[in-house]
């Protein structure tokens, strides 16, 4: 049978559907990128905010309209937090919670009586290419979170922490590399907590992957600042570990951080970043900021703006706080008025744009290896526009002649200019003859 898998939300959701796709293939089913061709559709939903839950419901409705004859399976955080509502959505045939999703493929095939096709199951190299290019693969290494940040519902939706064994992760990355992937991105709800339930830790996992695989690039997704052990930055002595980290700050006010139940002070965060920059050449730091958290005063806000500017970030993910039912923050007094939150968000976005421009400009004139991601986009000039990323996660674009493909190739590139309004990426010139690389 033909299976379509899709998700919204975090990178972990993407990693999960890629894993299920490979499992469906091993079971003899065909994975299709088109909902209209599917016999079964699996949607991995999100509910990190009230808006995300609303979008998940809309996505279910859209899938059903696109293919009303297909069986529809709903899983993910929305399905876990609101199972009764999920079951009642038009077109939904099966709801699977986060706690059950490790066996999702077996549950779906049994519940929906899906006949397999052994011919497909035995084809060599049956590794699903999500989202369509053998470039970056998101690899789920753990699930669940023991932290209790007052704004976060994900700890409720994802449950207790569960880590995958190191040999299983290595085997998956080896298979992805053999299928042509150039980069693996380790993902998890609480990535820094990896291995606590196994007597291991994230550092040991990274060391093992670097020692026992040959995939050219290894990248870490979001890490909490309090999770990094002594000597962690020594891992970057291996150039295959990409010099970019996403370390959520959330606020530059110690008072607000305490209300958020974050486990660090701004001074501790600043010291951590200083250590990273001293140890990792060309280190690029990105972060999350929540604007308008309950009780955030004008002084708290000014401290946040000043701290963010003092640290300097390559990119900010900015979230305007909205109450999420089921979290402690939603019950806190002194909710910030909507107009104030909007004004603060505009100010933070302006600062983020300026810092990103400064970060990109700092690397102009230098050469970096760039992993190019296809497909290329034809331009009015007849040439083809490509997008890729440097090791420290700067987005680069370049033009090639028609008929020249650089998809999924790591090529040396000179960064020559800024592009975008405001600038959000750099323009690069591929060094040497493209056809010879």
Are 412 and 351 found together in one domain? no
For residues 83 and 107, state if they share a domain.
yes
**Residues spanned by the domain of 389:** 367-436
Q: What is the pTM of this model?
A: 0.89
DSSP 327: S
* pLDDT higher than 80, residue 28: yes
Question: What is the distance between the alpha carbons of residues 135 and 270, in angstroms, rounded to a whole number?
Answer: 33
**Contact call for residues 134 and 182 (beta carbons, < 8 A):** yes
267: Cβ contacts below 8 Å, ≥ 6 apart? none
Task: Examine residue 267 and state whether it is found in any structural domain, yes or no.
Answer: yes
Task: Kindly state whether residues 255 and 355 are assigned to the same domain.
Answer: yes
Which of helix, strand or coil describes residue 172? helix
Higher pLDDT, 122 or 218: 218
> What CATH code is carried by the domain that includes residue 301?
3.30.750.200
Count up the domains in the chain and report the number.
Answer: 3
Region 342-346 average pLDDT: 97
At residue 133 the predicted structure's pLDDT band, cuts being 50, 70 and 90, is: low
Is the model's pLDDT at 52 over the cut of 60?
yes
User: Between the CA of residue 314 and those of 212, 245, 287, what are the distances in Å?
Assistant: 31, 10, 8
- How far apart, in whole angstroms, are the C-alpha atoms of residue 393 and residue 409? 16
**SS3 assignment, position 171:** helix
Q: Do β-strands 2-7 and 384-389 pair in parallel, antiparallel, or remain unpaired?
A: unpaired
Asked, for residue 35, whether it belongs to a domain, the answer is yes
Band of pLDDT at residue 120, cut at 50, 70 and 90: very low
Parallel/antiparallel/unpaired status of strands 136-140 and 183-187: parallel
Residues 339 and 377 occupy one common structural domain: no
Q: 349 with 386, same domain? A: no
- Flag the least confident range among 65-69, 130-134, 298-302, 403-407: 130-134
Distance (Å, whole) CA 150 – CA 233: 29
Q: Are 4 and 37 spatial neighbours (Cβ–Cβ below 8 Å)?
A: yes
Distance CA 223, CA 251 (A): 16
- Same domain for 285 and 355, yes or no, is yes
Mark whether 349 and 393 lie in a shared domain. no
Answer yes or no: are the C-beta atoms of 364 and 433 closer than 8 Å. no
pLDDT in tens, 303-319: 999 999 999 999 999 99
Residue range 188-222, pLDDT digits in tens: 999 999 999 999 999 999 999 999 999 999 999 99
160 within some domain: no
Is residue 231 included in any domain, yes or no?
A: no
Q: Is residue 199 part of a domain?
A: no
Domain termination site, one of 362, 391, 421: 362
């Amino acid at each position: 049978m033909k299976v379509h898998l899709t998700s919204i939300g975090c990178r972990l959701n993407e990693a999960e559907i890629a894993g299920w796709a490979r499992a469906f293939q091993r079971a003899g089913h065909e994975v299709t990128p088109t909902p209209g061709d599917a016999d079964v559709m699996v949607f991995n939903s999100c509910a990190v905010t009230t808006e995300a839950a609303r979008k998940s419901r809309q996505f279910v409705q859209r899938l059903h309209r696109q293919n009303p004859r297909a069986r529809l399976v709903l899983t993910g955080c929305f399905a876990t937090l609101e199972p009764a509502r999920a079951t009642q959505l038009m077109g939904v045939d099966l709801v699977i919670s986060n706690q059950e999703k490790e066996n999702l493929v077996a549950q779906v095939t049994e519940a929906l009586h899906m006949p397999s096709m052994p011919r497909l199951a035995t084809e060599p190299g049956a590794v699903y290419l999500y989202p369509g290019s053998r470039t970056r693969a998101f690899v789920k290494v753990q699930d669940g979170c023991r932290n209790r940040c007052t704004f976060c519902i994900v700890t409720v939706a994802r449950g207790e922490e569960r880590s995958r064994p190191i040999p299983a992760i290595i085997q998956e990355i080896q298979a992805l590399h053999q299928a042509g992937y150039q980069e693996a991105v380790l993902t998890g709800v609480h990535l820094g907590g990896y291995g606590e339930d196994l007597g291991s830790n994230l550092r040991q996992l990274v060391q093992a992957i670097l020692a026992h695989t040959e995939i050219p690039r290894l990248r870490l997704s979001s890490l909490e600042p309090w999770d990094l052990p002594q000597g962690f930055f020594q891992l970057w002595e291996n150039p295959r570990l990409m010099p970019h980290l996403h370390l959520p700050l959330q606020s530059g006010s110690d008072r607000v951080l305490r209300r958020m139940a974050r486990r660090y002070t701004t001074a501790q965060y600043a010291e951590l970043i200083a250590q990273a920059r001293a140890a990792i050449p060309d280190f690029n730091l990105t972060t999350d900021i929540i604007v308008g958290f309950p009780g955030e005063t004008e002084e708290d806000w000014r401290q946040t703006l000043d701290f963010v500017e003092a640290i300097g970030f390559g990119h900010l993910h900015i979230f305007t706080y909205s109450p999420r039912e089921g979290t402690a923050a939603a019950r806190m007094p002194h909710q910030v008025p909507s107009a104030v939150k909007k004004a603060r968000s505009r100010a933070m976005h302006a600062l983020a744009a300026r810092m990103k421009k400064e970060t990109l400009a700092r690397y102009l004139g230098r050469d970096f290896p760039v992993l190019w991601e296809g497909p290329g986009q034809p331009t009015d000039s007849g040439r083809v526009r490509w997008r890729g990323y440097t090791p420290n996660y700067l987005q680069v674009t370049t033009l090639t002649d028609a008929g020249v493909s650089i998809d999924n190739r790591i090529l040396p590139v000179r960064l020559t200019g800024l592009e975008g309004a405001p600038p959000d990426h750099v323009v690069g010139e591929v060094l040497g003859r493209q056809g010879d690389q």
